Amino acid sequence: MPEGFVTLTGAGPGDADLLTLGALKALQSAQALLYDALVSEDILALAPERCVKICVGKRGDRLSVSQDKTNALMVRLARKGLHVVRLKGGDPSVFGRVGEERDYLEAHGIAHKTLAGVTAASAAAAQFEVPLTHRGEARSVTYLTGRTKDGSVDLKDSVVCDPEMSLVFYMSSHNAAHIQARVQAVRGGATPVLIVENAGRRSARAVKGTLAQLADMVQTAAFDGPVLIGVGPVFARARVPFSALANQPDYTACDARLTAHG
């Protein structure tokens, strides 16, 4: 039996236009596809009809296939001689556990390669016209998570204290109040924030405000899709039709603008 092969790649955060050509080619030659919950239907439709498609993804605390089972499944399918595509949301190398999966494949002697994807922060930045770095406003950008194993928020001083560092929080809407308290104490309540749900999709919603409003903004918006929180001066530049500052976030208008821009 021929040796199987695993391609670890990312679908980008939303619509199919954010798929890389490399990921598209891998998808089109997939014989087995193990995909995350955030991968959209139009991207799944690009895999061959006869390809075995298995959802192994999870959304926050919702039930999912365990990491151990996903690892074992990749190996089992590859040992059948199949081209297995492990398709994650965004970029597999950003909060994607790709390191663990690669180590497992390596330990089991399965050939593999990793292809980059577009991370959610890049999609949100482009869609709402925010430069994540900008001369005089942001010399660096840090991707971090507000979700730790024990549920606490561990924000180091080096991250919180540099006012010219843009912060992009993944998996953090549940911890908005903690993030607000910790960062506001150092950077001040007037620091701009931008919250983006479903970045990179036509259904994207964004609301702009300040750190002092962050927890209220999250609560009011009652997000259902995946959410990013941006903190730092550059986020004041976001092109969002209505902002929390005006106390009138209007998501419908925001959606309309995105649609108008195609």
Ligand X SMILES: C[S@@+](CC[C@H](N)C(=O)[O-])C[C@H]1O[C@@H](n2cnc3c(N)ncnc32)[C@H](O)[C@@H]1O
The correct pick among 14, 146, 209, 232 for binding ligand X (CB under 6 A) is 14
Window contacting ligand X (CB under 6 A); options: 24-32, 94-102, 133-141, 180-188: 94-102
Run of H or E residues at 92: none
- Judged by beta carbon, residue 49 or residue 61, the one nearer ligand X is 61
With H, G, I as helix, E, B as strand and everything else as coil, classify residue 222: coil
Which parts of 185-224 interact with ligand X (CB under 6 A)? 196, 198-200
Size of the site for ligand X (CB under 6 A): 21
36 is known as an active-site residue: yes
61 is known as an active-site residue: no
- Residue 38 in the binding site for ligand X (CB under 6 A): yes
Catalytic residue among 58, 162, 216, 250: 58
Contacts of 179 (CB under 8 A, 6+ apart): 146, 153, 155, 169, 172, 214, 229, 231
Q: Is 39 within 8 Å of 89 (Cβ atoms)?
A: yes
- Residue 175 in the binding site for ligand X (CB under 6 A): no
Give the C-alpha separation, 128 to 184, whole Å.
24
- Residue 238 in the binding site for ligand X (CB under 6 A): no
- Residue 227 in the binding site for ligand X (CB under 6 A): yes
Shortest Å distance, C-beta 109 to ligand X: 26
Phi, psi of 79 (to 5 degrees): -70, -15
CB atoms within 10 A of CB 31: 19
Determine the residue type at 125: A
Pairing state between β 111-114 and 5-10: parallel
- Judged by beta carbon, residue 79 or residue 126, the one nearer ligand X is 126
Shortest Å distance, C-beta 13 to ligand X: 3
Q: Is 65 within 8 Å of 79 (Cβ atoms)?
A: no
- Residue 70 in the binding site for ligand X (CB under 6 A): no
- Residue 95 in the binding site for ligand X (CB under 6 A): yes
Give the C-alpha separation, 20 to 219, whole Å.
34
Q: Is 137 within 8 Å of 233 (Cβ atoms)?
A: yes
Catalytic residue among 15, 17, 25, 36: 36
Give the C-alpha separation, 162 to 50, whole Å.
51
The correct pick among 6, 94, 176, 195 for binding ligand X (CB under 6 A) is 94
Backbone Cα Rg of the chain: 19
- Residue 13 in the binding site for ligand X (CB under 6 A): yes
- Residue 146 in the binding site for ligand X (CB under 6 A): no
Shortest Å distance, C-beta 105 to ligand X: 18
Window contacting ligand X (CB under 6 A); options: 41-49, 71-79, 83-91, 158-166: 83-91
Shortest Å distance, C-beta 94 to ligand X: 4
**What b/e string do you get for 72-101 counting C-beta neighbours within 10 Å, with b at 16 or more?**
ebbbebbeeebbbbbbbbbbbbbbbebeeb
Query: Which residues are near ligand X by CB under 6 A?
Result: 13-14, 38, 88-91, 94-96, 119-120, 170-171, 196, 198-200, 226-228
Which residues are known to be catalytic? 36, 58
